[in-house]
Each structure stands twice: as C-alpha cells, then as structure tokens.
C-alpha cells in the first residue's frame, strides 16, 4: 500500500486506535489493513503463531533442502576464506548415498531445493549434471517441485558452462566481485596468485543471458570505498536487469581466517553501508530490491529436513563447517556416533522465544539471526534493519514508488503502441 495526504492520515488514525468509533468511517481502509497484516484481530497472538510456525519447520516434513559440496578443492585463494583447502572430491559411493537420502526424505507433493557449494563446485560440473538428472526424475515420481542454485567464484562460468547450468535448471548463480580490478584481484586471486577480475567480469556478461546472476560483494574496511565503482562498471555493461548485486560481510567464521577480524565491519556500520549501497543501486539503475520477508527459521541449520553433504559423506548443519571433520551431525556411509549426536543436540538447544528476540518487532524477518554465530560467540547477530529501521523503511517506500512509476511508464507505452496499431488498421 502506498498512501499520501488524507488517506495516509486516516491510516495513522486507524493504526493508533483501530477499535475507536471513528474507525467505522474508514471501513474500506480498515479491511485493507487487516488483509495486509498491518492490523491483527484481537484474538490472534502473533508470537504464538510465529512460535508454532518455527516449531513446525524444525520437525520432519515432506520438503527437503540439501547443500551439496561435490568438492572442497578450489582454484582460488581468497584472503578471507574460512575453509581449509583440501583436494577432496565426491566419489560414486557418496553420490549414490546422496540420492538414497533424497529418496528417503522427500515426500509426495513436496519440494527438493539444492544448493551447489564448494570449494568450487564447477570443478565437478559432470557430477552436478548426473545428480541433477536423477533428482529431477525423483521429483517427477513424487510430484515434487525441484529448484536449485549454485554458489561459484565465477572463473569457470563462461557461456558454455552457463549452457550446462541452464540444462541443470539452475535458478540463479551467485558470483562474487569484491570491487574494481585492483581491489578484487588482491582479495580473490587464483591459487598461483594471478588475477581473476577480468575473466569473471567477462563471464558474467556472457552467462547473464542464460542464468540470472546474483552478484555478491564481500565487504570490510579495506574495500568498502570501491562499491560504487564496481556497480558503475556493471551498469555500463547494460546488465542492470540481469545482474542483482548485494553486499556480503566478511567475518572470521573459523580459525582459518582469523587474520581478517580487524578489518570486519561492526553490525551498525554494515547496516548503514547496506543502506548507502541500496541508494547507489538506484542511482545506477538497479531497481530490483530484495525486501525482507517473514521466515520460519533463519536458515537451514534449524530445519529438521535440511543438511549439508560433504564430499566424503558427512552431514552438517552449516556450510561454515564444511572442512571440519569433527562437526558432523551424521554420515551417509557410517552409523551416527556419540560426537555426531552431541553436535546435533547442540544445534537444537537455542530457543529464540526464551531470548530477547521474543519481544523484538523484527522477529518475523530475523528469527534470531545466524545460529552458527550465536553458538560460536554467545551473542545474537540481529537483522541489519534493527540498526536503522526508519531509514530502511523510507528507502523501501522510495523504491516501491519508483517501481510503480516504471510500471506506469511501461503500461502507457504499450497503450500508445496499441493506439498506433489501431490507427494503422483503420
């Protein structure tokens, strides 16, 4: 809803006193506010609703989410990478076990969501294609919906590779550029130290016509000033409708990358940078905006029917632990041992409704934040909007108005063309 003037004042009045005598005069607006969720019936307890929804997501169901790591090998040596570089690659036995896992856990009329991760997953494109073909056959048999995405450094994502990914029904590919060429190449070189920027940028241009690209920019104190330049470069390539940039945040997730800790942004600082970057995106013509939505859990780590599968068959709850052999909560080829059971119990011990989250108005879009960081640091990592809520809402409103204006312009253009066609025929 976008309201101005008298209507906006009426809405404010309704929100302040939804059951007053005056509310009867605004019956239509009141109904809209109820339908959109701005007003809640008095008998509905929102916290109970969220708690039930959250609890259901933590129980086994017919929906299955898998993050599959076909290899831990990587052709990059990023300065902030939290993984140990291992040449380990998935073999036929684990590949078959993954398929058996899917067949066991995917229900009729359910959904199978697969994220391909690494290492660098495109080093094992053949395995991705084989598993995808069998996953899709399984979904056809179960009348289930299949979706997938891939997280890749983009170095191998040329047009031919993009064609193969489109054949795998990849919904989108996440690729990272950390700034202009000198900045990016210092942060994300090949294993031999050579640069990667030029190849990745050319690949993005070639692949974007076939596979939507989510462009991640990992930021910290050392590269934050380069964000406008890389956005300008992508916009100049006329990719604003095919490439969707967003910010990621470097963090010392494991002992492998502790040296980057001093460069990481504080929560409020990152939240403000996100706002600034959103305005920069608008300036450059990137109008697509991913507004927060209500979620049942923060991520797959808190869902019963979701896991990460490593090349050797370990099952994890978080990909941050991909190269840690002691973090498994299960195994595809071995029975669970005491350590795996303790790990699994650890992931189940956080109750966000017993924490300060329960009284936070951003709970529906945050659900407690990253559970991995909570377990590692003992503190909550809140949604970025919490630091700058009013400003974030203002930016969101501004973007929605721009989208409306764009739609009006498009519709008017189509109307003019229809009139021209009708005149030509008369």
pLDDT, residue 424, reads 75
Cβ–Cβ under 8 Å, residues 203 and 163: no
Same-domain pairing of 395 and 322: no
Residues 375, 396, single domain; the answer is no
Same domain, 134 and 270: yes
Find the length of the chain.
Answer: 426
Q: Give, to the nearest 10 degrees, the angle between helix 5-16 and helix 27-36.
A: 70
% of residues, the chain, pLDDT over 90: 65
Q: Same structural domain for residues 299 and 359?
A: yes
Q: Is residue 7 part of a domain?
A: no
Question: Residue 371 is encoded by which pair of tokens?
Answer: 């559970």
Indicate if 55 and 176 belong to the same structural domain.
yes
Q: Examine residue 152 and state whether it is found in any structural domain, yes or no.
A: yes
Give pLDDT tens digits for 136-190: 999 999 999 999 999 999 999 999 999 999 999 999 999 999 999 999 999 999 9
Whether residue 307 is found in the same domain as residue 370:
yes
CB-based contact 153:188 (threshold 8 Å): yes
Q: Please count the structural domains in the chain.
A: 2
Q: Which domain holds residue 372?
A: 44-381
Looking at the fold, whether 201 and 284 belong to one and the same domain comes out as: yes
Kindly give the confidence (pLDDT) of every residue in the chain, 426 residues in length, as a single tens digit, with 9 standing for 90 and above: 556 677 777 777 877 777 776 655 577 788 888 888 888 888 888 899 999 999 998 888 999 999 999 999 999 999 998 888 888 899 999 999 999 999 999 999 999 999 999 999 999 999 999 999 999 999 999 999 999 999 999 999 999 999 999 999 999 999 999 999 999 999 999 999 999 999 999 999 999 999 999 999 999 999 999 999 999 999 999 999 999 999 999 988 877 667 888 999 988 899 999 999 998 998 898 866 677 889 999 999 999 999 999 999 999 999 999 989 899 999 999 999 999 999 999 998 899 999 999 999 999 999 999 999 998 888 898 998 898 888 888 888 888 888 788 778 878 777 877 777 777 776
274 and 396 co-located in one domain: no
Which uninterrupted H or E stretch holds 160?
Answer: helix 159-167
Which ranges constitute the DSSP H helices of 37-73? 46-57
| Residue 86 buriedness (CB in 10 A; 0-12 / 13-18 / 19+) | middle
Residues 221, 325 within the same domain: yes
Q: Are 362 and 294 in contact (CB under 8 A)?
A: no
> pTM of the prediction?
0.89
339 and 317 co-located in one domain: yes
Q: What is the largest CA-CA distance in the chain?
A: 82
pLDDT tens figures, 28-61: 788 888 888 888 888 888 899 999 999 998 888 9
- Residues 401 and 274 occupy one common structural domain: no
In whole angstroms, give the CA distance from residue 193 to residue 199.
Answer: 14
What CA–CA distances, in Å, run from 260 to 79, 177, 221, 224?
8, 18, 10, 14
Q: Give the domain CATH number at 320.
A: 3.20.20.70
């Amino acid at each position: 809803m976008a309201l101005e003037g008298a209507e906006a004042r009426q809405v404010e009045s309704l929100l302040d006193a939804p059951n007053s005598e005056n509310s009867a005069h605004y019956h239509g607006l009141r109904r809209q506010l109820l339908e959109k969720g701005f007003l809640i019936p008095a008998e509905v307890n929102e916290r109970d609703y969220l708690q039930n929804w959250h609890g259901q997501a933590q129980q086994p169901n017919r929906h299955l989410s898998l993050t599959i790591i076909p290899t831990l090998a990587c052709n990059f040596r990023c300065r902030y990478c939290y993984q140990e570089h291992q040449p380990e690659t998935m073999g036929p036995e684990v590949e078959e076990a993954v398929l058996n896992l899917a067949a066991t856990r995917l229900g009729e009329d359910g959904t199978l969501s697969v994220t391909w991760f690494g290492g660098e997953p495109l080093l094992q494109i053949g395995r991705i294609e084989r598993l995808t073909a069998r996953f899709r056959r399984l979904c056809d048999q179960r009348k289930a919906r299949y979706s997938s995405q891939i997280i890749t450094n983009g170095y191998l994502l040329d047009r031919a590779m993009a064609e193969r990914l489109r054949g795998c029904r990849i919904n989108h590919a996440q690729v990272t550029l950390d700034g202009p060429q000198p900045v990016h190449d210092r942060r994300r070189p090949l294993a031999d130290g050579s640069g990667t920027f030029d190849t990745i940028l050319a690949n993005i241009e070639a692949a974007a016509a076939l596979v939507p690209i989510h462009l991640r920019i990992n930021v910290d104190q050392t590269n934050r000033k380069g964000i406008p330049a890389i956005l300008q470069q992508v916009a100049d390539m006329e990719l604003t409708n095919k490439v969707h940039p967003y910010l990621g945040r470097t963090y010392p997730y494991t002992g492998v990358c502790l040296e980057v800790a001093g460069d990481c942004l504080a929560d409020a600082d990152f939240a403000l940078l996100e706002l600034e970057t959103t305005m920069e995106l608008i300036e450059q013509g990137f109008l697509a905006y991913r507004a927060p939505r209500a979620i049942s859990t923060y991520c797959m780590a808190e869902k019963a029917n979701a896991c990460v599968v490593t090349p050797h068959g370990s099952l994890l709850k978080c990909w941050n632990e991909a190269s840690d052999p002691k973090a498994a909560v299960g195994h595809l080829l071995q029975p669970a041992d005491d350590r795996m059971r303790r790990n699994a119990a650890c992931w189940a011990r956080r109750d966000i409704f017993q924490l300060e989250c329960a009284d936070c108005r951003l709970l529906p879009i945050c659900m407690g934040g990253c559970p991995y960081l909570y377990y590692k640091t003992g503190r909550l990592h809140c949604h970025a909007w919490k630091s700058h809520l009013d400003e974030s809402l203002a930016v969101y409103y501004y973007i929605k108005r721009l989208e409306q204006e764009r739609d009006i312009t498009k519709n008017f253009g189509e109307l003019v063309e229809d009139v021209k066609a009708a005149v030509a025929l008369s």
